[in-house]
Structure 1
Amino acid sequence: MFVGRDKELSALERRWSSQQFECVVAYGRRRVGKTTLINRFLEDRPTIFFSAIESSASKNLESLSRSIALYEKGSEAFETAPVYRSFESALEAVFALAAKQRIAFVIDEYPYLAKADRTINSVLQHAIDRHKDDSQLMMVLCGSSMSFMERQVLGYESPLYGRRTAQIKVEPFGYADVRKFLPRYSNEDAAIAYGLTDGIPQYLRQLDDGISIRDNIRWNILDPSCYLFEEPDNLLKQELRSPAEYNAVIQAIASGASRSNTIATACHMESSSCATYLRNLIDLGIVRKETPFGEDAPRKTIYRIENSFFRFWYRYVPNNMSLIQSGHADLAADRVMRTISDFMGQVFEDICVQWIWSHNGTEALPFLMLDAGRWWGANPTTRSQEEIDIVASGEKPKTLLFCECKWRSVPSGLQQLEVLRNRARLLHPETSHYMLFSKSGFDEHVAARAAQDGTVTLVDFADMD
């Protein structure tokens, strides 16, 4: 089943329709569905598809030669295809094929090719410069190494800088697309499934919306033989040189450490080494670096686990490993379900942010939103730390929208609104608007207040589709 990706497909379609040379850079985290997206777009279109491998330059040149022969002469020529003398001559052949007709040329896992032959960026640059004005080739460079694609392909110092005609960052699915992916689930179960998988298609494919969330956790995350049980370790080993150290950093953050010095202390490592590990985890989309909304204060910087699948795995799997390994994964799944609402708090905040952006520019919001984020800071009156789930601003910087998101089994009431009002005053807005999001709706008291107060909006999760 193919779900979503309408914007990405439209962007690719526009480039194909130009009938001019195009160089599209498509990148994103592993398992996010880049290759599936490209294959969907290229259905029934003439394509040379070359997937680079983690091997030598000669092996990759052999594979590229076979891909070209497969396009030219069909599958019978695949095994006996002659190998081009160099990547330069292979690229010349590709451009020659696209001289008179529209052809797509995909290099999947491009970072593997660049690692095998460090001159390939320059080779591509020269080939593009020679042929771009009289070619109908649509070249697609696809890669999962976020840091490499952003710095070595899209970056200013890259030989390919200025040669791309478009870039597509393929993101994980949001809640709305996950809802389509699991049509038999209720809204609540689909939201939990979104949290369990971070909206990553490869992870979503492991879930079965014909069984309960509890059974999916039991059989598709906590079972030692299932795909997702060892996925964090496998991903770290695949992407990083020192997976044990990175595992320690993620575990420290999952256990409550949020500042770089406390993370380094928990991992028994130097601050400089910890900073490198954190930067690489940010590049992989596993960790997020945050400062309070509207503030540029490095001393307030914290680190959170951005990937909710990793957040779930590190919260529950290590703490239940003895039960799981001793054959009691059923008991572990029951333990998980007892606190799944606590885990869903941050996930629900993410869903609410998605809802706000999707309704931006409509009557659902009090103004056109230009920026949004989370805020935290000290309350000088109570000398306690306060937090606001979402703060949004628009063209008037002192006009702010403050949001509270509650994933609880009881309706939200006036107390949540008053707490939000009190916290909002800490940011000294000139004009304030308030929005409460609730999984279980609202009691009659806060509903009556919202009906009388034009600055208050209530959003029930049941109405958020």
Structure 2
Amino acid sequence: MESNALGAYLSKLRRLRLVERDIPVTANPNATRKSRYRLKEPLFRFWFRYVYGQTGEIAQLGDDAYEQLIEPSFTDYMGPMFELVCQNALPSLIPKTYRQIGYWWHQHHELDVVGLASDGTLVAGECKYTTRAMHEGDLTDLERSASQVEWTPPEGAERTYHYCCFCRSGFSDGLQNAADKRDDVSLFTPDDIVSA
């Protein structure tokens, strides 16, 4: 389908709250052309990822359908939802007055969680819903991406950074040690998020 014909369809799907538009958290929603659209409802995401077009295969696999069709890619499916949960928990985990919280991306850099605080703090987070623990390299990548965010703090405040690592499987000893020595790094597991 031609991209210029998509506008009307996307507009209707957004009015029905089936699809949502993501833009970088620093972008002006009325001026940016950087947009990603995704299914808003997790049930629909699951249906179109694992059921739609595969009912015959699901029926043939029977009790093995989950193990064969869903389990191999389920952590990838859960990743975007984990990011959204982390964004929603951010004000409780790092208490500040946020002007905006969301995603950010530009060229080869992407941040799963960005909070733009009134005090001039840019809170940048990386989310990993994987079976491996996060390590110091993940923090280095997070710092590198956060340095690329173009944002001017409000009312002449000085820009500062706070880095958050959110991981389902915990953290390496090296990353834990680095976080213990720094005031600008926080590590959060799903238990921390649920508690918040």
Into which bin does the TM-score normalised by the smaller protein fall?
0.7 to 0.9
Deviations along 1:99-131, whole A, 9 cap, x unmatched?
xxxxxxxxxxxxxxxxxxxxxxxxxxxxxxxxx
Name the counterpart of 1:387. Answer: 110
Deviations along 1:52-89, whole A, 9 cap, x unmatched?
xxxxxxxxxxxxxxxxxxxxxxxxxxxxxxxxxxxxxx
Amino acid at match of 1:281: L
Name the counterpart of 2:65. Answer: 332
Check conservation: 2:26, 2:150, Cα contact below 8 A. Answer: no
Deviations along 1:213-240, whole A, 9 cap, x unmatched?
xxxxxxxxxxxxxxxxxxxxxxxxxxxx
The normalised TM-score by structure 1 is 0.38
Separation in structure 1 between the aligned mates of residue 175 and residue 51 of structure 2, nearest angstrom: 39
Name the counterpart of 1:376. Answer: 105
Q: Secondary structure at the match of 1:427?
A: coil
Name the counterpart of 1:341. Answer: 75
Separation in structure 2 between the aligned mates of residue 301 and residue 390 of structure 1, nearest angstrom: 16
Separation in structure 1 between the aligned mates of residue 62 and residue 146 of structure 2, nearest angstrom: 44
The reply on whether 1:457 has 2:186 as its aligned counterpart is yes
Separation in structure 1 between the aligned mates of residue 53 and residue 129 of structure 2, nearest angstrom: 23
Check conservation: 2:111, 2:124, Cα contact below 8 A. Answer: yes
Equivalenced residue count is 184
Name the counterpart of 1:292. Answer: 24
Give, in angstroms, the shift of residue 319 of structure 1. Answer: 4.8
Amino acid at match of 1:435: C
The normalised TM-score by structure 2 is 0.85
List runs of 5+ in structure 1 lacking aligned partners: 1-263, 379-384
Give, in angstroms, the shift of residue 403 of structure 1. Answer: 0.6
* Higher RCO structure (Cα 8 Å, ≥6 apart): 2
RMSD over aligned Cα, in angstroms? 1.9
Deviations along 1:15-55, whole A, 9 cap, x unmatched?
xxxxxxxxxxxxxxxxxxxxxxxxxxxxxxxxxxxxxxxxx
Deviations along 1:399-453, whole A, 9 cap, x unmatched?
2000111111121111111110000011156311101111111111111111111
Give, in angstroms, the shift of residue 301 of structure 1. Answer: 1.9
Q: Secondary structure at the match of 2:33?
A: helix
Name the counterpart of 2:12. Answer: 280
Give, in angstroms, the shift of residue 314 of structure 1. Answer: 0.6
Check conservation: 2:111, 2:145, Cα contact below 8 A. Answer: yes
Separation in structure 2 between the aligned mates of residue 428 and residue 344 of structure 1, nearest angstrom: 29
Separation in structure 2 between the aligned mates of residue 428 and residue 286 of structure 1, nearest angstrom: 31
Q: Secondary structure at the match of 2:98?
A: coil
Q: How does 1:200-349 map to 2 (within 5 A)?
A: 264-265=1-2, 271-272=4-5, 274-296=6-28, 297-325=31-59, 327-334=60-67, 335-349=69-83
Q: Secondary structure at the match of 2:176?
A: helix
Give, in angstroms, the shift of residue 316 of structure 1. Answer: 1.0
The reply on whether 1:402 has 2:136 as its aligned counterpart is no
Separation in structure 2 between the aligned mates of residue 319 and residue 414 of structure 1, nearest angstrom: 41
Separation in structure 2 between the aligned mates of residue 463 and residue 399 of structure 1, nearest angstrom: 22
Separation in structure 2 between the aligned mates of residue 404 and residue 414 of structure 1, nearest angstrom: 12
Q: How does 1:140-219 map to 2 (within 5 A)?
A: none
Check conservation: 2:103, 2:113, Cα contact below 8 A. Answer: yes
Separation in structure 1 between the aligned mates of residue 102 and residue 123 of structure 2, nearest angstrom: 11
Give, in angstroms, the shift of residue 338 of structure 1. Answer: 1.6
Could you tell me the percent identity over the aligned residues?
Answer: 29
Separation in structure 2 between the aligned mates of residue 342 and residue 306 of structure 1, nearest angstrom: 16
Give, in angstroms, the shift of residue 333 of structure 1. Answer: 1.7
Separation in structure 2 between the aligned mates of residue 353 and residue 329 of structure 1, nearest angstrom: 37
Separation in structure 1 between the aligned mates of residue 64 and residue 8 of structure 2, nearest angstrom: 38
- Runs of 4+ with deviation above 6 angstroms: none
Amino acid at match of 1:395: S
Check conservation: 2:109, 2:148, Cα contact below 8 A. Answer: no
Check conservation: 1:400, 1:432, Cα contact below 8 A. Answer: yes
Separation in structure 2 between the aligned mates of residue 289 and residue 389 of structure 1, nearest angstrom: 15
Amino acid at match of 1:318: Y
Amino acid at match of 2:104: W
Separation in structure 1 between the aligned mates of residue 103 and residue 79 of structure 2, nearest angstrom: 13
